Structure 1
Amino acid sequence: MRLAFLGTPDFAVTCLAALAEAGHEIVAVYSQPPAPRGRGHELKPSPVHACAAELGIEVRNPVSMRDPEAIAAFKALNLDAAVVVAFGQILPAEVLEAPRLGSYNLHASLLPRWRGAAPIQRAIMAGDAETGAEVMRMTEGLDEGPVLATARLPITAEDTASTLHDKLAAAGAALLVETLPKIAAGTAVAVPQAEEGATYAKKIRPKEARLTWARPAVEIDCKIRGLSPFPGAWFELAGDKGPVRVKALLSRVEAGQGEPGQVLDDRLLIACADGAVRLLKVQREGKGPQDAETFLRGFPVAAGTVLA
C-alpha cells in the first residue's frame, strides 16, 4: 500500500519499522518538530523522525496539521491509507479523509477503555488485569472510531509502564502488518465501539507522582509500576543536607502492618494503610536506578523510619 506514517515517540518506531519491513511504500513520515532534549537542550529529532531518516523516507514536521498548506501537501501524496501511532496532534477531517481507504490509528488499550494520552500508565495504575492494542479507523472524535483488529495482553504483577510499553509496541506492530492487507482487500470488518464503559487516560501530571503511603498497598504498588520509569513515583528520605527525593521504580505487595510510611525491616518493606509494599528498585535524586540492596549499601534506611 502507498502510505503516510504519522508518529513521534519510541512506541511508534516499532510500528514504522515493521511496516517498512513488510514492503509497504511509505512515501512520507510526519512527526512532531525537533525539540530541546538533554542537559544541553539541543534540538533533536523525535525517535520516529530519526528512524525515518535511517530508512531514507522523507520526513515532514508541520507545526499544525490544520494549516491549509500542510493539508494540501498531505492530499497531494495520493495515499491508499494513513497510519497514525502516537503522533501528538489532533487531525482534522480533511486530513483523515484524504487517503483513498481512510486513516487508521494503533491505540494501546482495549477501547473504549482508556481513550486518550496515557493508556499504558493508566491501565496499570487502575489495577487492570488486561490491556491490548487495537487498530481503529479514525474519526474526528478522540479515539472513538470503529475497531478493526485487537491483540489482547495480560498485565502481570511484574509489569511496569516500560515493560508493558515494549510488549504493546511489538503486538501493535504485528497487528498493523496483519490488518493492512485486509483493509486493502476490503475484508477488514469495522466494529463500532461500545457506548458504555468509556474511560479517558488523561496525561500524567507531575503532582500525581508523589506517593501517599496512607493508601492500600495494592493501589500504591500499581501507582509505582504505572509511573515507572517516567515520571517515577517518589517519596522523601531524610539526608545529611535535608530531604532527599527517591523514586520507586519497582515494587511488590507483601504482608505487613504498621503506621503508613513506616519502614518495617531493613530491606525497604513499607507499611501502607492496608498491607505493605516491598521496594525492589529505586532511584535517588541525581543518581541512576539501583536495586534495593545496592541502594541500601550507600544509603541505609533503618527499620522504624517513617517516610514522608
Structure 2
Amino acid sequence: MKRVSVVFLGSFQHYSTLVAEALVKNDSIKVVGVVTTPPQPAGRKKVLTKTHIHEWAERQRLPVVTPQTLDSASLRQLVSSFNTKVDLFVVAGYRNKLPKIWLEYPRLGAYNLHQSLLPKYRGTNPAEWAILTGEAETGVSLIRMTERFDAGPIIGQRSFAIAPNDTRESLYEKLYQTGGELTAEILPLLEVQHLKGKVQPRLSPTRYARRLARHDGFIDWLTIVKARRGGLTIQDFTNNQLLNYLIDDSISQAGIEPVNDFLVKLIERAVRALYGYPYLWTVVETKKGQKRLRILAVQIEGGKLKLNRVQIEGQQAARFNQIKNLISA
C-alpha cells in the first residue's frame, strides 16, 4: 500500500502532539510537515514560546511553518517549505479555521479530528460542555472538512464513557489518544477506498460548545457557602451566566427535582469541566483583603458540597481547611 503524505495542523498544548505521534507510528502514513501557530509570549517574563507540537516536530526533524494568517501567500510558503506533494491535511486542535483555498489543496482532502460525537457539541470546547451538561459518554469524530465549521461528512467515530472523576484535562487526554488511534487507522484507507462518510444534519441536537472565557468560571462565594450547608435555589446563581444558562437549559428540557441536589451536582461538574482553565473561581474575604479563590476539587456528601482542594491567590494549592487568613468560611 502506498504511503499517504500528511501535513499535520495543530496547536493545542500537548494534546495535538498525541495525534501526530500516532500518525508517525503508522508505516502507511508519512508526515511531511507541521503547521502550527506562531510562538507566543508566555510566563511572567513573556518569553516567546513555541507550541508543543512545534518543538516535537523539530525533534522529529520535520519542517514547520507558523503562518499568521491562512491565505494564498501562506499556502505557497507551505508548498515551498515542504517541497513534496501533499495527499492530506489532518487537523487536530488547530486554532485557525482553514479557508477554501487550503481545503482544496491536498489531493485527498482535508480532515479534522473533532472531540465530540458529531453532530453533538460542535464548537471550540466540546469536552468542557460534555462534562458541564452531564453527558454519560463522549468520543471523537473524523470528518472531511468543509467551509462550514464542524459540519463535514463523518468518516469515522469512536465513543467511550465519561468517568465520574474526569476533568477537562483528563478527558482531553483520552479524546486525543483515542482520536490519534482512529485517525491513524482511517487515513491509509483514503488512498484505496472512496469513503464518502455520513452526512451530518444541519442542526445539532446540543447547544454550540463555545469557547469558555475567564468570567465563565466566576461563582459567588455566598453560593458556595450555601452549597456547603444545603438548600440551594435557582436564585443563588443569578451572578453566574454560564451556570444560569445550564440551569435554564435543563429546566426547559426535562425539569429538575430536587432542586438542591441538581444544583450541587452542577457545581461539582463545573469544577471538573473548568479545571485547568478558566477554573471555577470566587472571591473571598481574608485578613489581607479580598482574594481570588480557585476551587480545584470537591465532592458531594448528603446533598452538600464539600470543598476538598482549593488555591487562594498568592498561596499554593491546599486542602480547604488548611487555607490561611480566610474570614468567611
Which category describes the TM-score, using the shorter chain as reference length? Answer: 0.7 to 0.9
Q: Partner residue of 2:184?
A: 177
Q: Partner residue of 1:51?
A: 56
Structure 1 gaps of 5+ residues are 256-274
Q: Partner residue of 2:132?
A: 125
Query: Whole-Å Cα distance in 1 between the matches of residues 213 and 323 of structure 2?
Result: 31
The match for 1:236 among 267, 273, 283 is: 283
The match for 1:16 among 14, 20, 23 is: 20
CA contact (8 A) 1:75 1:95 kept: no
CA contact (8 A) 1:74 1:95 kept: no
Displacement, 1:79?
0.9
CA contact (8 A) 2:216 2:278 kept: no
Question: Which structure shows the bigger proportion of residues in helix conformation?
Answer: 2
1:94 partner letter: I
Q: Partner residue of 1:161?
A: 168
Partner of 2:170, secondary structure, is helix
Question: Deviations 1:227-274 (Å, cap 9, x if unpaired)?
Answer: 00222111223211112211112222332xxxxxxxxxxxxxxxxxxx
Structure 2 gaps of 5+ residues are 224-235, 238-262
Is 1:28 paired with 2:75?
Answer: no
Query: Whole-Å Cα distance in 1 between the matches of residues 63 and 136 of structure 2?
Result: 40
Query: Whole-Å Cα distance in 2 between the matches of residues 113 and 288 of structure 1?
Result: 38
CA contact (8 A) 1:130 1:155 kept: yes
CA contact (8 A) 1:75 1:99 kept: no
Query: Whole-Å Cα distance in 2 between the matches of residues 149 and 174 of structure 1?
Result: 11
The residue correspondences of 1:1-308 to structure 2 (distance < 5 A) are 1-9=4-12, 10-23=14-27, 24-66=29-71, 68-74=72-78, 77-186=84-193, 188-196=195-203, 197-212=205-220, 213=223, 214-215=236-237, 216-255=263-302, 275-290=303-318, 292=319, 295-299=320-324, 305=328
Question: Deviations 1:189-226 (Å, cap 9, x if unpaired)?
Answer: 50011334153111112111112422511111111111
Question: Deviations 1:110-156 (Å, cap 9, x if unpaired)?
Answer: 11111111111111112222111111110010111011111112122
2:210 partner letter: K
Partner of 1:116, secondary structure, is coil
1:162 partner letter: E
2:16 partner letter: A
Displacement, 1:159?
0.9
What is the TM-score normalised by the length of structure 1? Answer: 0.86
Name the % identity: 30
Query: Whole-Å Cα distance in 1 between the matches of residues 268 and 215 of structure 2?
Result: 17
Query: Whole-Å Cα distance in 1 between the matches of residues 304 and 326 of structure 2?
Result: 16
Query: Whole-Å Cα distance in 2 between the matches of residues 299 and 249 of structure 1?
Result: 17
